[in-house]
A and B are shown apart, each in its own frame.
Chain A
């Protein structure tokens, strides 16, 4: 008594499942939230990483480019983490280039032992480079080209 009942339930389930699958196949393409067909490959946007090299200057007065990542380095009114290595008093121990001495001169031409306030925000002039396609068209040519 019990065995046939179980079998028929199983059969009914299998039939319902197969019918559902067939119905789904015939219902046409599924709408994708991303706008692409479900069978299309949706590539992940490429991530462009920091270039780590010493860069040639594109023109003589160009502020040197930063050859390492500066992500999460704090440069604000309170602290400047760049100076932990690049300040004249730390650079030898850390094997880092020292700031140009022009950075210790204030607007009145007075020299000081600490970085001039107007030179405090390094990344106003010095920036890291990433080998990524340009976001806007750019016709800049380096000096001499």
Chain B
């Protein structure tokens, strides 16, 4: 027998042969239908598991979240307001689109490491020391994506400025003109701000501009006119 002379192929090769060879038992239709149904079941299961980790209850199952940021969120406008609509943790902190959501979820595994291994924000004091770093991460993400999580509900184009406080309407118009995004002004709307937050925010923005992640700010209307005047007729 020739079998006795040739050595038995390796495990990987045997698996590959099994997977790549056509089935001699099951019909093509059976395989298609079973594959299709299994696909639905597995995708649904994956999605369900993902959503289970994407709600407020899950977020505050860690004491770091429940005792610090969740406590601060109580009474904020996204938790308690006239219209009775609530934005919970994932509405602001997890992107809605599938790709960015998965990226965020993978990054969040570092938070598990922090919780179980390094315990980096285990006590309120430790959390307070880290607060500006944590906030800076969120500002960075928001600034990079034109405050995408805010935009899921709030949009400049859908705002009726006549229904806003005069001060708000004027500032929102200015924000459109200067190409600003929500987080440029609205830091700390749901959580306490750390000391030196404005300076740190400017650093975050400057870093993003330097890295080429965002466009540098548009010059303001007056600044354009002044520079045109200063440059003189030759520049026009």
Contacts and interface: CB of A to CB of B under 8 A. Distances in A.
Given A68-B165, A69-B165, A84 B170 contact: no
B195 interface: yes
B9 to A, nearest CB: 67
A68 B164 CA distance: 12
Interface string A113-145: 000000000000000000000000000000000
Given A81-B188, A84-B198, A74 B166 contact: no
Nearest to B171: A94
Contacts of A52: 165-167
B176 interface: no
A28 B45 CA distance: 59
26 contacts: A52-B165, A52-B167, A68-B165, A68-B167, A69-B165, A72-B75, A72-B76, A72-B77, A72-B189, A74-B192, A76-B192, A77-B195, A78-B192, A78-B194, A78-B195, A79-B192, A79-B193, A79-B194, A79-B195, A79-B197, A81-B188, A83-B198, A84-B185, A90-B198, A94-B171, A95-B170
A131 B8 CA distance: 92
Given A72-B76, A81-B193, A95-B170, 10 more contacts: A52-B165, A52-B166, A68-B167, A74-B192, A78-B195, A79-B194, A79-B195, A79-B197, A84-B185, A94-B171
Contacts of A81: 188, 193
Question: What 6 A-B pairs come out closest when comparing CB atoms?
Answer: A79-B193, A78-B195, A68-B167, A74-B193, A79-B197, A78-B194
Nearest to B198: A84
Residue in A72, A79, A81 whose Cβ sees the most chain B Cβ within 10 Å: A79
Nearest to B131: A78
The A interface, classified by DSSP as helix, strand, loop or mixed, is loop
Interface string A60-87: 0000000011001010111101011000
A143 to B, nearest CB: 28
Contacts of B174: 95
A77 B196 CA distance: 11
Interface string A83-106: 110000010001100000000000
B166 A78 contact: no
Contact of A74 (B77, B165, B170, B188): B188
A61 B193 CA distance: 32
Nearest to B170: A95
Interface string A31-68: 00000000000000000000010000000000000001
A79 B191 CA distance: 12
B188 A79 contact: yes
B173 to A, nearest CB: 11
Nearest to A73: B188
Interface string B163-206: 00111001100100000000001001100111101100000000
B193 to A, nearest CB: 4
Contacts of A68: 165, 167
Contacts of B189: 72
Contacts of A84: 185, 198
Nearest to B190: A72
A65 to B, nearest CB: 15
Interface in B133-184: 165-167, 170-171, 174
